[in-house]
Structure 1
Amino acid sequence: MDVRHPRQAVMSISPDDPEPMYRIGTVSRLTGIATVTLRMWERRYNVVDPGRSSGRNRLYSRDDIARLALIKRLVDAGHSISTVAGLTLVQLHERLEVQEKPRQLAALPVRVLTPVRVAVLGDALPARIARAGSELAGLAIVASQRERARFLADAPAQEPQVLVIEVPALGPETAAGVEELRQACGARHVVIVYGFGRRATVAKLDTAYSTPLRAPVGMAELRIACRAGLGVAALPLPERQPVDLTPSPDGIPQRRYDTDTLERIAASTPTLACECPHHLVDLVAGLSAFEDYSAQCENRSPEDAALHHWLRATTAQARALMEEALTRVAEAEGLLR
């Protein structure tokens, strides 16, 4: 977000092009996708290929906006961006139609605040999950095995609501094997952590009863997938002390988040229908940018220098408060790890 130069919302690449082209800020408002997320999706997944103005600013077409809006709806519904980024418009519409059909779940939703009972089967995941601790808050690991036979002997008696199954690769028999385990354990949802698989196979496993996650998977992402699979809201936050605005020796509060962390939070899918994490990332990034800008401004006099230092310090305090807000929301949504 550039706070220094106001820009037109719509323009064309050339006078001969009658189709209006939209700048990234306008696209963000139209689609609900944070600008940080848009840039990351383009860089990592090539979701769209926007044009460029003479000043190298991104310019999006109406088709780009329509495509991004569909992808946003699917991601908000729980689909991984990696599974939908390469789909055509027709495929996106088909996926959305399937997503929005009424679903008959195996049982009523569990009560809010009730930990989700999870059983784990895999080679490496059981050990990782055992070390996760508070990163998996809101989950109760009731069974964890590396061998299928032992898992089937142990897990059904624990009445898990969600299974987490780790497989090195997805094959033609994966879906049937996963469904067999789900029914044997009486679980309502399965999270499949896989190493490799064809896009078509991944798409078939992305259903009301199963969620595919490409390895390596973080514990926060796993927690969200397990809870979102049952439609369970986040657990309440513990009481917090007021944010510490004690400045560093130069009068500026220290920053909590680097650019990579902000991008990761912006790219995550909240468990609730809420865009607060994305908007807060934009606010923190914008305040940080202006903080840096005010520190670099030319000073014509000592008074000018004092004014810019005050601007920087004031902006830094606002940034620290918004970082605290982002931390609370991100913890509630399980987006930090």
Structure 2
Amino acid sequence: MTDQDAALPGHTYRIGAVSRLTGVPADTLRVWERRYSVVSPLRSESGTRLYGPDDVSRLTLIKRLVDRGDAISSVANLSLDQLRERIRGTDLPETTGAPERPCRVLVIGSSLAERFRRENPISGDIEIVGLFGSRRAFLAAEPPPPTPDVAVIEYPTIQGDQVREIGELVAKSGAARAILVYSFATRSTIERLDARRMIPKRAPVELHELRHWCAGEFGRAPARGSEEPALDLSLPIPQRHFTDADLLRIAAASPSVRCECPHHLVDLVLSLNAFESYSAECEDRNAEDAALHAYLHAATAQARSMMEVALARVVAAEGIELANPDGEI
């Protein structure tokens, strides 16, 4: 991590750190800001973007919704509370028993677009949302095509100085994944494409491969059970429910109760307390890794709070008396 990615005082983050925290590529962040005003970061004296915790939370939730199938244009202007509600599914249509929507595909490239027109690979599970013979034609399209799940982009040759251009093209499309069909490129260029989550495929490609790309991880919203839990960095760190004295009293009482669960839970909460403090200290002292430690601090505090709720239930079930009633949840 470079000093350009470090957090500045007050826990603001530069674009590289935000990209790692949210999973949104930096090029996509710039396009979302310019085209949809998703967030409005502050600027340093040198003009560097500075993002706050609310910005990180908005971008994290929007990324999840876009990955789930929402168009960026439909969620870009929702408030943070509305985004949270949408993630919880309170305003999402009921989909139980309904068929999955077709995989939306955007094609950019002269020979690829012509092949798609000629061979017509469209079926019930694939929807072509745009066929463009060139990058210029796609960028000039009015209105722009619907947000695709997969962008299939043709570049006969790819040079190192074109990687950024390709990244901006993918960001402009809004596609969750991109397939780069090429004929010639250096190994280092291919590695840079891989690092940007763009999948390079050497030409020629068969159009039936499109179905495999869509049927696999591309273009499908992840199952809700497999989603990474959202960590909202804009929310305050949960307060401790038990003092150290409470925890010691609970641990001392464990031999007289029916099981060792109180003792084990106390050990877990104490360990989480210690790591929470450690992460908070690193967040303040280590500028290079501040973004990572801010995430670890919030994640540990959330885990600690959940384990305290579990401990409170055990304390109540076992009838353990605490010296300080304020330690009760």
Write 1 or 2 for the structure with the bigger share of helix. 2
Scaled to the shorter chain, the TM-score interval is 0.3 to 0.5
| TM-score (normalised: structure 1) | 0.34
Quick check: which has more Rg, 1 or 2? 2
| TM-score (normalised: structure 2) | 0.35
